Chains A and B, each alone.
Chain A
Amino acid sequence: MISRRNLILTGAALAGGTLLNPPGQILAQTPSMGDKNVTDPDSVQSTVNVGNRTFSPGKPGVDYRPVVTPNLPTLPWQIVNGIKVFHLVVEEMWHEFTPGLEAICWGYNGHVHGPTLEAVEGDRVRIYVTNKLKAPTTIHWHGFLLPNGMDGVGGLTQKLINSGQTFKYEFTLRQHGSLMYHSHHDEMTQMGMGLMGSFIIHPREPVWDPPDRDFVFMLSEWRLDNGTYRPNIMEMSDFNLLTFNAKAFPGTEPLVVKSGERVRIRIGNLSAIDNHPIHLHGHSFTVMETDGGRIPESARWPETTMFVPVGTTRTIEFVAGAPGDWPLHCHMTHHTMNQMGHNTPNTVGVRNAAYDKEVQKIIPGYMTMGSEGMGDMGMMHMAMPENSVAMMGAYGPFDYITMGGMFTVLKVRENDPSLKEDASGKITDPGWYQHPEGTIAGPASVDELNQDGIKV
């Protein structure tokens, strides 16, 4: 496996090597993703005119509370003459979906999907896009109100950004909300390979109580066959890897919040064809916004599952309730599986014991799977093709969690000084929830059954 990976990597490195020092590259190098993710806002002097009003570039912690993008960073920027300058570099790279499963994907600035861009309504942004792919590309700013020539549609509103070229997009943000960016050239391939990201525009002035925690997710889907190392972009409908921010459970980071906090979760969907009903356990929430804007209060209703169609975003808000580990997942059952193939006959209910023995004479180690369903799959530890997480899940605090794909955990904790929080408001994973005595479902005792008149 190592050797094969190295082999493929060598090819990727060689391909990348030809793109060093592309002509027209403005910034000396890709901005680093280190801790200092923003330029000191105090150094900002200039202002920008937007319509009749003039704003200075929005400052994190001052003008907005930064979002947390689980598993992904936020793209740093610098202010030049009052304009927020970003630099996206499109390139091929290895990406790990979850431990044991990686592939050569396309992304931005070393990440799949791209880092989250964050700005404030009224900011003037200048975004340089350097193409280090061999293929041409563009970036479309999904849901943005901007000049048509900045819309990023290859061929229609601009020339393609050819390999080695750097293009400049520049526009003023005239709205706020949860928006997205993605390639708008050969989408089947380029989005299938991962070229997408989130773009959050905070309101210049809070339109309602700002949240205590603000998260953003991008939903996407892939075809990555067991034992292969590159997403199969030819797939049209039968996707086998479904991800939150390009991670499949158990590779997804948990969302850690404190009980009683106001939590906002923004979810965009750039899957190829699938809409996702995203369900949150233990809470009722309200859908506050789409990528089209704020939903009037009169049109909102409480929900536990929010439907996120392809090409839209939804923003939900709720107050973190009871402490615990609450799943947040797509409610389509096959979307919480990992790569397990679907090419075998249904074996549920099959009496296979005698048959298995016969086959084992011909193929040692043969075992019919799934005759009692797929629940045991993850624990069987059967030999798997290399680079695959065919069987779902991971071990949880009690048992095996038979979930994969679009699944993560909202960890609600009492406020505790041991919880560590970084500048963006991201709390380090505190581990599994410790349940109070008597609050966990368990086997019923005979006495209990008798007492309640339950016959089994």
Chain B
Amino acid sequence: MNNNRCFISARGGTKRSSTIVGFIFILFLVQPVAMSVAAPAPGADAMQDIQNVTTGRTGYKLAPVNEAQCEETIQYAISCLLENSLSKDEAVQIALLNNRELQARLADLGIARGDLIDAGLLKNPLLDFLYRKSNAPDTLANLEWSVTLDFLNLLTLPLRRAIAASEFETTKLEIANDVLNLAFDVQSAYYNLQAATQAGKMYQAAVNASKAAYDGAQVLHEAGNITDLAFHQEQAIYEEQKLLLAEAETETVALREELNMLMGLWGNQVAWKIPDKLPEMPAREFQGAGLESVAVYQRLDLASIRQDIETLARESGLQDATRLLPELSGQFAAERDTDGSWLRGGGVSLPIPLFNQGQGRVLKAQAKLNQARHRYYAKAVNIRSEVRKAFAQMRKNRERVRYYDKIMLPLRKRMVEESHLLFNSMDVSPFELLASKREEINAQRDRTEALRAYWVARSDLERALGGSFQCYTGPNSTPPNEGSQSNDKIRKRIPSGDAPSGTANPNSGGSATGKAGTDGSGTAATGSVAASSGGAI
């Protein structure tokens, strides 16, 4: 992990200056040029925001985009992580550094930034030039110049810029959410593979037990003491167990490749090993109180819909404002007549709202806003259900594992001992004794499956909550790697007491709903990803 310094220190190297060539009206150049020079380009720290949020939520570092010089360092770091037995945390870290799908997704940030910058610029003026020559003798050529500028564009620039900024926030939230999902995908895949590896050992043990019975049948058969059928019955069990092992090994290969895909590994990188035993359950379970509110407060996909609502509210405001006058352009024109005289002047052009008064656009924008609000509500309902489901599954699977430990495994163990006693008294055959042993092994395998289900449910709960347990210390606490000014600002913006404690209203984690619809000033949309999603976690 020492090599990760590179990703942090290299951040911000993508500063681009915007070059705008305006040559007609200096006036129009003043604002954008001043902005591009005096302030950083819009969205420049978006990557840092995403890194902050995802690291804060998972504890893992994210590789920056467009850092070619770091590629070698990243690969070196990955090879270090792969060197020894690969832990779950290391697997997640590798995926976050090396999954090219994720890198491609992060590139969406650049695309979104392009849109954001474009939205901040005025529409370029239109230059018309006309040259006409008369066939009358001694006449000059007729020259016609005109420059047309969309005035309304100038007036609505702040509105559009706010919309673009809000859309950009949505993109950031969606990307950050995808980062988290990848981390949880890797986590679940890791547990699945680890369980399969552990179960594989038990399949092997069952093969060994059935082989012992088969060997026993063989010596009895050779001595002429059992029938061909009795011998083949034991052989059939043995062969069956071998096939089950082969099936399990096939499954393990698939699970291993799933993890390879998520970690973006190929070539000689795929020889990694993982510990072949699932971790035991923590002694104390994560407590379930208030988890639904935490999820509503934390979930980035919910926050992105909330951001959508803000965007659509502003969009609606824009459509409202430009309802009657969607276009307004001014023109400066000069014409040299054939006699050499110049005509100079200007004018405006605007549509007369005789037929279309923008009803359609306004209605559409409002409907979209309404639609987003429903989606937000639905998402919140679903999230609460996901949390309850994952939490209940985690608890149930925990009970299952405990039941195996307290009841089933001791029972099977005892049954083997009892079979052994009855074998000693010649009441059961060695085959029955070894079958009893096989049942014990199967119970251990089933217990492994229960433990796997526990860890996957736990991972699903983290996914449902929108953050790892290890990074969660309560709704009001500050995570270890955070505490920046922007986050403090956010905590003021979203009352922390409100969101996590919400019970009746599934939207209670959000404060942006509806309000932005009448706002339209655009100032609220400039927060970071964390700002829109409740950055306390």
Contacts and interface: CB of A to CB of B under 8 A. Distances in A.
B424 A384 contact: yes
Interface in A314-368: 339-352, 355, 358-359, 361-363, 365-366, 368
Interface residues of A, number: 35
A226 interface: yes
A241 to B, nearest CB: 13
Nearest to A352: B219
B429 A362 contact: no
Nearest to A369: B426
A362 B215 CA distance: 13
A390 B426 contact: yes
A388 interface: yes
A391 B208 contact: no
Contacts of B205: 362
A344 B219 contact: no
Contacts of B416: 363
Which of A226, A344, A347 has the most C-beta atoms of chain B within 10 angstroms of its own C-beta? A344
A248 to B, nearest CB: 15
Nearest to A341: B427
Contacts of B216: 352, 355, 359, 368
A273 to B, nearest CB: 21
Interface in A255-283: none
Interface in B215-254: 215-216, 219-220, 222-226, 230
Nearest to A371: B223
A350 B426 contact: no
A383 B216 CA distance: 21
B421 interface: yes
B299 interface: no
Contacts of A339: 425
A1 interface: no
B458 interface: no
B428 interface: yes
B95 interface: no
Given A358-B212, A366-B420, A345 B226 contact: yes
A359 B223 contact: no
In terms of DSSP, what is the predominant structure of the interface of chain A? Answer: loop
Interface of A: 225-227, 339-352, 355, 358-359, 361-363, 365-366, 368-370, 382-385, 388, 390-391
A363 B433 contact: yes
A70 B220 CA distance: 44
A390 B425 contact: yes
B423 interface: yes
Contacts of A349: 223-225
A345 B424 contact: no
Shortest 8 CB-CB distances between A and B: which pairs?
A341-B427, A390-B425, A341-B426, A385-B421, A382-B424, A346-B225, A226-B425, A350-B223
Given A352-B219, A362-B212, A344 B426 contact: yes
Given A351-B219, A359-B216, A345 B429 contact: yes
Contacts of A388: 425
A225 B428 CA distance: 12
Contact of B427 (A225, A345, A348, A358): A225
A359 B424 contact: no
A345 B220 contact: yes
B422 interface: yes
B430 interface: yes
Nearest to B441: A362
Contact of B425 (A340, A347, A355, A368): A340
A381 to B, nearest CB: 10
A343 B223 contact: no
A390 B208 CA distance: 30
A348 B422 contact: no
B424 A369 contact: yes
B434 A362 contact: yes
A363 B420 contact: yes
22 contacts: A226-B427, A227-B418, A227-B425, A339-B425, A340-B425, A341-B425, A342-B426, A345-B431, A347-B220, A347-B225, A350-B222, A358-B212, A359-B430, A362-B205, A362-B209, A362-B212, A362-B434, A363-B420, A365-B420, A383-B421, A385-B422, A390-B427
B413 to A, nearest CB: 12
B473 to A, nearest CB: 48
A350 B230 CA distance: 16
Contacts of A385: 418, 421-422, 424-425, 427
B423 A344 contact: yes
Contacts of A225: 427
Contact of A344 (B223, B224, B420, B429): B429
A383 B220 CA distance: 24
Interface in B437-474: 437
Nearest to A380: B424
Contacts of B209: 362
Given A341-B422, A345-B220, A350-B219, A359 B427 contact: no
Contact of B225 (A348, A355, A369): A348
B425 A351 contact: no
A341 B434 contact: no
A368 B427 contact: no
Contacts of A368: 216, 430
Contacts of A370: 426
Contact of A383 (B208, B222, B424): B424
Contacts of A346: 220, 225-226
Given A343-B428, A366-B420, A370-B426, 15 more contacts: A341-B426, A341-B428, A344-B426, A344-B427, A344-B430, A355-B212, A358-B215, A359-B216, A366-B433, A369-B426, A383-B421, A384-B421, A384-B425, A390-B425, A390-B427
Nearest to A339: B425
B477 to A, nearest CB: 52
Contact of A343 (B226, B418, B429): B429
Contacts of A343: 426-429
Interface string B255-272: 000000000000000000
B270 to A, nearest CB: 33
A359 B426 contact: no
A363 B421 CA distance: 12
A340 B220 CA distance: 20
A344 B419 CA distance: 12
A362 B423 contact: no
Contacts of B434: 359, 362-363
B295 to A, nearest CB: 48
Residue among A349, A355, A362 having the largest count of chain B Cβ atoms under 10 Å: A362
A383 B223 contact: no
Contacts of A369: 424, 426
A432 B249 CA distance: 66
Max count, chain A CB within 10 A of own CB: residue among B226, B420, B430:
B430
A220 B363 CA distance: 101
Nearest to B432: A343
A227 B222 CA distance: 33
A390 B428 contact: no
Contacts of A383: 420-421, 424
Contacts of B224: 349
B223 to A, nearest CB: 4
A225 B422 CA distance: 10
Contacts of B208: 361-362
A350 B225 CA distance: 8
Given A355-B219, A359-B216, A340 B426 contact: yes
A350 B226 CA distance: 11
Interface in B184-199: none
Contacts of B230: 345
A348 B428 CA distance: 16
A110 to B, nearest CB: 30
A118 B145 CA distance: 148
Given A347-B220, A349-B225, A227 B422 contact: yes
A344 B421 contact: no
Contact of B437 (A351, A363, A365): A363
A227 B426 contact: no
Contacts of A350: 219-220, 222-223, 225
